[in-house]
Amino acid sequence: MKELKDRIQRDGQILGNGILKVDSFVNHQVDASLMDHCGKEFARRFAHLGATKVLTAEISGIAPALTTALHLGVPVVYARKTKPITMPDQVYLTLAPSHTKGRMVELIISPEFLAHGEKVLIIDDFLATGATILGLVRLAEAAGAHIVGIGALIEKTFEGGRAALKSLGIPVESLAPISSMDGGKIIFNGD
């Protein structure tokens, strides 16, 4: 998606250790209009799957997941990383490593909002190793839901996430697949 790729080239910052900082338009500060366009593009690419719910992980996944859900006309559920007091005692919980936090984090979903047989589209900001997304897949499977597709704004194709998700046999789409950040230069797939 050209608009997102152009923005990454303009405002993304490579911090080393494979970290791409996009805090000025995706995390921390969010370009609402850009997120809306990304959500519209995800909705276009995934419309044929008949998803009944969008699933993401707090915090950075919320913005693109919300706009995707808006354009698909379905609700969005975000997995919590700490259990709020409003959540029932019995929950779906899994662990996933956080790249930006450098430790394992919990992903928690209330059984109230993920039902057996539901068709779930996972949307997140990054697809890197796929570890967070695989955590969401485990939660959905624990609920007896079906994952029908996976979308990420930005994919770091050199971190192997797509291969890790391959056995699921479902469409995986990223709007800005980055094949290299070597030497401080961002190269997109196909460029």
Question: Which lies closer to a copy of itself via its Cβ, residue 78 or residue 188?
Answer: 78
Q: Residue 11 CB, nearest distance to a copy of itself (Å)?
A: 11
Task: Please select the residue that binds a copy of itself; options are 6, 23, 182, 191, rule is CB under 8 A.
Answer: 23
Q: Residue 104 CB, nearest distance to a copy of itself (Å)?
A: 14
Task: Please select the residue that binds a copy of itself; options are 52, 92, 93, 113, rule is CB under 8 A.
Answer: 113
Compute CA 136 distance to the chain's CA centroid, rounded to the nearest angstrom: 9
Task: Please select the residue that binds a copy of itself; options are 1, 38, 69, 134, rule is CB under 8 A.
Answer: 69
Distances (CA, A) of 41 to 47, 49, 151, 173: 10, 14, 10, 10
Q: Which residues have C-beta within 8 Å of that of residue 38, sequence separation ≥ 6?
A: 1, 4, 64, 67, 68, 153, 175
Q: Which residues have C-beta within 8 Å of that of residue 104, sequence separation ≥ 6?
A: 95, 96, 97, 98
Distances (CA, A) of 2 to 37, 118, 191: 11, 32, 12
Task: Please select the residue that binds a copy of itself; options are 8, 38, 63, 120, rule is CB under 8 A.
Answer: 63
Task: Please select the residue that binds a copy of itself; options are 9, 18, 48, 75, rule is CB under 8 A.
Answer: 75
SS3 (DSSP) at 6 = helix
Is 80 one of the binding residues for a copy of itself (CB under 8 A)? yes
Q: Which stretch binds a copy of itself (CB under 8 A): 70-78, 134-142, 146-154, 182-190?
A: 70-78
Task: Please select the residue that binds a copy of itself; options are 38, 51, 110, 152, rule is CB under 8 A.
Answer: 110
Is 92 one of the binding residues for a copy of itself (CB under 8 A)? no
Q: Residue 50: how many CB atoms within 10 A of its CB?
A: 11
Question: Which lies closer to a copy of itself via its Cβ, residue 100 or residue 167?
Answer: 100
Is 27 one of the binding residues for a copy of itself (CB under 8 A)? yes
User: Phi/psi of residue 31, each to 5°?
Assistant: -80, 100
Binding residues for a copy of itself restricted to 3-22, rule: CB under 8 A = 15, 19, 21
Question: Which lies closer to a copy of itself via its Cβ, residue 18 or residue 144?
Answer: 18
Q: Which two tokens stand for residue 97?
A: 């490593």
